[in-house]
């Protein structure tokens, strides 16, 4: 029997059991090596014949994992840069401009802890909601649409209203609400998009890092979506007066955005100036199209009006927004297109006057999937199609392969749209989490359209003329196990056509890629556990917990790195993470955590980096010691798993209350040990329960 026939038969047989068609172990090991266990009950599996799209899908989950920062009792947040940058909020390493992407990616993570903790943090006392324009409220609502867990969203309702109203304040300085126009304005830098047309032109073309205050499609869409999120969440709590108030605010904002930011000459939503100076005039339109003009579709602000649909023509025109390797943020016809104003040393710094930015590419693709899915009049114009969606998504996937680093998967800040090379390329740049991808795959390509009611709706935007097959499974949706599969011929999975499965049973099929809707029962989202790591030091200069090592003159930042709550194993030296032992010569070394108080401990997760080219390996042996009774002695009943390279090594012991713990280990002769993280927790070890 031919291998593919054999496979089809096997699948047909196992299908009766409602089993998965994908081999989870081999897929996860292929993509994540020894770190596969972290992903195994956390990510949906996905396969497709467009291999770049598949490879980037898994790469993006590694980016998601790398950016989960454990803040101990403060829970997890999602970071943007792997390396610390001067403008992040300390001691958390918080940057909120990409938080909507973080939440939209995270909503597909089966372990709800990450979105739940992060949402609470963003709207809690340590958040920084005016650091950048934001759509955090929308992010919380989007997570609810997938997981159906009202308890994650409703406690934030009051804080969301406070944050929303705060954007009205005139004291923000760099953003606010203009009562006479009924629109929000923002400094492009505070919109996370320095050097846009508005900010460059407001300096007469001499600069544009700051200033250039403008009524932008972005912030007005974000506030529209935040208002609707508040209305929907208030609706969940039965608070009809808040619901009606915010529905009204959203509706008013939508009218103003449609009526005032649409420029019929450009056939585009563009900024108008708030700034009024010798170069630019209050309320004038800017003089060009920008990619930000598609943001209103990403947040479903607009009516289905064919006049607006014309804007999408410009996304496909290679003389306008369509670069050969990425979508441009504004057009080559702009006088200061790609003029470089700002450098870090000799490296060009971030600018938004033309480069392709994954950030806005994600927004444009989200908007395009929305248009193709539920703007029927606009879609019927044929200005832009599902084939375009698939092509642009594939182009975006290819942008993840970094030619400046030998073609490895490495997403960075921004790109030359005509070559696909990253522009900035600083030490902080690798594996930058400032955009989305998994969400585009699951809501666009695979087409799961998250909704609040007990309906599963699927409408794939994968183009049947290009895509032979895909399957996504292990998707947790409203408490159900969902899988969606497409097989043009039946050769891949044994069944031709589109198949939707709920809890292992086929519930809808179609011969073609089309919309399918299925009623599902209301099921609660599974509970998740939140063990607290007691070892996490928030900043290198935080008093406790504190790390120290047996070696003199150790690098303080590197020592901090081993207890900073961040784990990744990327080999790029620019983003190395953790403390390096001396080269092994048979001598034991130790890493000690001082808790500053007597603290209960019973288990640890240890992350060792390894790369033979770079001279790193796991230790020859390791053990855990405490000084609970004075001198340093091994913990009782230590259960040490074999040291894992580039994955998690676990240790547990009989609970001990101690002020300090040591990881004592012997590096292999001639090799260093890089301790990426040494995470201790209280409580007992519960099987697969992880930090």
Ligand X SMILES: *[C@@H]1O[C@H](CO)[C@@H](O)[C@H](O)[C@H]1NC(C)=O
Check if the beta carbon of residue 682 is closer than 8 Å to that of residue 532: yes
**Sole window of 212-220, 291-299, 397-405, 589-597 interacting with ligand X (rule: CB under 6 A):** 589-597
Check if the beta carbon of residue 291 is closer than 8 Å to that of residue 415: no
Among 404, 596, 654, 686, binds ligand X (CB under 6 A): 596
Helix (H, G, I), strand (E, B) or coil at 409: strand
The residues, any chain, with a CB within 8 Å of residue 682's CB and separated by 6 or more, are 532, 534, 599, 600, 601, 602, 655
**Sole window of 24-32, 140-148, 518-526, 584-592 interacting with ligand X (rule: CB under 6 A):** 584-592
When asked if residue 224 is in the footprint of ligand X (CB under 6 A), the reply is no
When asked if residue 179 is in the footprint of ligand X (CB under 6 A), the reply is yes
Q: List strand residue ranges (DSSP E) for 14-57, in order.
A: 45-48
From the CB of 608, what's the least distance to ligand X, in Å?
A: 13
* Angle formed at CA 114 by CA 82 and CA 155, multiple of 5 degrees: 130
Q: What Cα–Cα distance (Å) separates residue 368 from each residue in 100, 316, 375, 387, 392? A: 17, 12, 10, 11, 10
- Alpha carbons 62 and 32: distance in angstroms, whole number: 8
Q: What own/partner pairs with CB < 8 Å and gap ≥ 24 does 334-342 have? A: 334/197, 334/287, 334/288, 335/205, 336/197, 336/200, 336/201, 336/205, 336/208, 339/200, 339/205, 341/195, 341/200, 341/207, 341/208, 341/209, 342/194, 342/195, 342/209
Among 126, 154, 235, 510, binds ligand X (CB under 6 A): 235
Among 40, 258, 381, 385, binds ligand X (CB under 6 A): 258
When asked if residue 630 is in the footprint of ligand X (CB under 6 A), the reply is yes
DSSP string, 169-227: -GGGSSEEEETTTTEEEE-GGGGT--S-HHHHHTTTTS--SS---EE-HHHHHHHHHHH
Residue 511: HSE in the Cβ half-sphere, 13 Å Cα cutoff: 0
When asked if residue 32 is in the footprint of ligand X (CB under 6 A), the reply is no
From the CB of 6, what's the least distance to ligand X, in Å?
A: 33
From the CB of 300, what's the least distance to ligand X, in Å?
A: 13
Among 582, 615, 638, 683, binds ligand X (CB under 6 A): 582
From the CB of 267, what's the least distance to ligand X, in Å?
A: 10
When asked if residue 587 is in the footprint of ligand X (CB under 6 A), the reply is yes
Indicate the residue among 155 and 332 with the shorter CB distance to ligand X. 332
From the CB of 490, what's the least distance to ligand X, in Å?
A: 38
Q: By C-alpha distance, which of 182, 242, 247, 241 is closest to 215?
A: 182
Q: Residues 658-677 vs ligand X: string with x where CB under 6 A? A: -xx-----------------
From the CB of 438, what's the least distance to ligand X, in Å?
A: 23
Among 96, 371, 589, 602, binds ligand X (CB under 6 A): 589
From the CB of 261, what's the least distance to ligand X, in Å?
A: 10
Q: How many residues bind ligand X (CB under 6 A)?
A: 45
**Sole window of 162-170, 335-343, 492-500, 553-561 interacting with ligand X (rule: CB under 6 A):** 162-170
Q: Residues 287-326 vs ligand X: string with x where CB under 6 A? A: x---------------x-x-x-----x---x-xx------
From the CB of 263, what's the least distance to ligand X, in Å?
A: 4
From the CB of 279, what's the least distance to ligand X, in Å?
A: 13
Q: What Cα–Cα distance (Å) separates residue 635 from each residue in 28, 629, 648, 654? A: 34, 11, 20, 7
Among 544, 555, 621, 633, binds ligand X (CB under 6 A): 544
When asked if residue 251 is in the footprint of ligand X (CB under 6 A), the reply is no
b (16+ CB within 10 A) / e for 27-50: bbbebbebbbbbbbebbbbbbbeb
Q: What is the largest CA-CA distance in the chain?
A: 79
Among 237, 385, 517, 611, binds ligand X (CB under 6 A): 611
- Alpha carbons 501 and 508: distance in angstroms, whole number: 7
From the CB of 49, what's the least distance to ligand X, in Å?
A: 27
- Which residues contact ligand X by CB under 6 A? 164-165, 168, 177, 179, 231-232, 235, 243, 258, 262-266, 285-287, 303, 305, 307, 313, 317, 319-320, 544, 571, 582, 585, 587, 589, 594, 596-597, 611, 613-614, 627, 630, 639, 641, 650, 652, 659-660
């Amino acid at each position: 029997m031919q291998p593919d026939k054999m496979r089809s038969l096997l699948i047909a047989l196992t299908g009766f059991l409602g089993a998965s068609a994908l081999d989870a172990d081999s897929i996860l090991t292929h993509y994540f090596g020894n770190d596969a266990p972290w992903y195994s009950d956390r990510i949906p599996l996905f396969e497709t014949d467009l291999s770049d799209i598949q490879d980037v899908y898994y790469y993006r989950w590694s980016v998601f994992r790398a950016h989960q920062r454990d803040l101990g009792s403060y829970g997890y947040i999602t970071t943007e840069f792997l390396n610390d940058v001067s403008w992040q909020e300390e001691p958390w390493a918080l940057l909120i401009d990409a938080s909507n992407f973080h939440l939209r990616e995270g909503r597909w993570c089966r372990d709800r802890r990450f979105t739940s903790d992060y949402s609470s943090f963003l709207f809690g006392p340590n958040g920084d909601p005016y650091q950048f324009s934001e759509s955090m409220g929308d992010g919380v609502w989007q997570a609810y649409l997938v997981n159906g867990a009202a308890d994650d969203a409703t406690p934030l309702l009051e804080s969301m209203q406070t944050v929303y109203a705060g954007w009205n304040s005139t004291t923000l300085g760099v953003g606010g609400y203009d009562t006479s126009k009924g629109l929000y304005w923002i400094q492009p830098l505070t919109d996370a998009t320095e050097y846009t047309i508005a900010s460059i032109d407001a300096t007469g073309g001499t600069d544009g890092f700051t200033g250039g205050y403008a009524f932008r499609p972005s912030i007005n869409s974000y506030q529209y979506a935040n208002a609707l999120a508040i209305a929907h969440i208030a609706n969940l709590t039965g608070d009809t007066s808040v619901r009606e108030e915010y529905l009204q605010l959203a509706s008013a904002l939508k009218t103003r955005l449609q009526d005032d930011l649409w420029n019929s000459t450009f056939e585009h939503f563009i900024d108008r100036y708030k700034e009024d100076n010798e170069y630019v005039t209050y309320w004038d339109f800017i003089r060009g199209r920008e990619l930000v003009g598609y943001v209103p579709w990403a947040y479903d602000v607009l009516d289905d009006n064919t006049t607006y649909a014309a804007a999408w023509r410009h996304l496909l025109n290679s003389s306008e927004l369509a670069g050969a390797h990425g979508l441009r943020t504004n057009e080559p016809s702009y006088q200061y297109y790609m003029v470089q104003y700002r450098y870090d040393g000799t490296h060009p710094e971030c600018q938004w006057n033309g480069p392709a930015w994954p950030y806005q590419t994600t927004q444009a693709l989200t908007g395009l999937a929305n248009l193709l899915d539920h703007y029927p009049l606009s879609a019927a114009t044929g200005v832009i199609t599902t084939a375009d969606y698939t092509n642009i998504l594939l182009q975006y996937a290819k942008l993840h392969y970094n030619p400046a680093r030998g073609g490895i998967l490495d997403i960075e800040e921004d790109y030359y749209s005509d070559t696909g090379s990253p522009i900035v390329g600083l030490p902080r740049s690798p594996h930058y989490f400032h955009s989305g991808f998994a969400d585009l795959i699951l809501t666009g390509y695979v087409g799961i359209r998250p909704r609040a009611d007990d309906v599963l709706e699927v409408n794939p935007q994968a183009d049947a003329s290009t895509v032979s097959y895909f399957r996504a499974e292990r998707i947790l949706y409203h408490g159900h196990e969902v899988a969606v599969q497409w097989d043009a011929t039946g050769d891949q999975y044994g069944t031709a056509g589109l198949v939707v499965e709920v809890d292992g049973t086929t519930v809808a099929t179609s011969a073609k890629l089309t919309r399918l809707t299925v009623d599902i029962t209301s099921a609660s989202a599974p509970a998740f556990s939140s063990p607290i790591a007691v070892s996490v030091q928030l900043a290198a200069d935080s008093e406790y917990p504190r790390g120290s090592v047996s070696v003199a003159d150790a690098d303080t930042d590197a020592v901090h790195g081993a207890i900073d709550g961040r784990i990744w194993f990327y080999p790029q030296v620019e983003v190395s993470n953790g403390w390096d032992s001396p080269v092994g010569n048979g001598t034991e070394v130790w890493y000690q955590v001082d808790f500053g108080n007597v603290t209960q401990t019973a288990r640890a997760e240890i992350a060792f980096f390894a790369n033979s080219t770079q001279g790193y390996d796991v230790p020859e042996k390791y053990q855990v010691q405490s000084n609970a009774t004075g001198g340093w002695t091994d913990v009782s009943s230590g259960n040490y798993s074999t040291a894992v390279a580039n994955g998690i090594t676990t240790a547990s012991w009989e609970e001990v209350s101690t002020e300090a713990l040591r990881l004592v280990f012997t590096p292999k002769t001639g090799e260093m040990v890089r301790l990426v993280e040494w995470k201790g927790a209280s409580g007992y070890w519960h099987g697969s329960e992880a930090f």
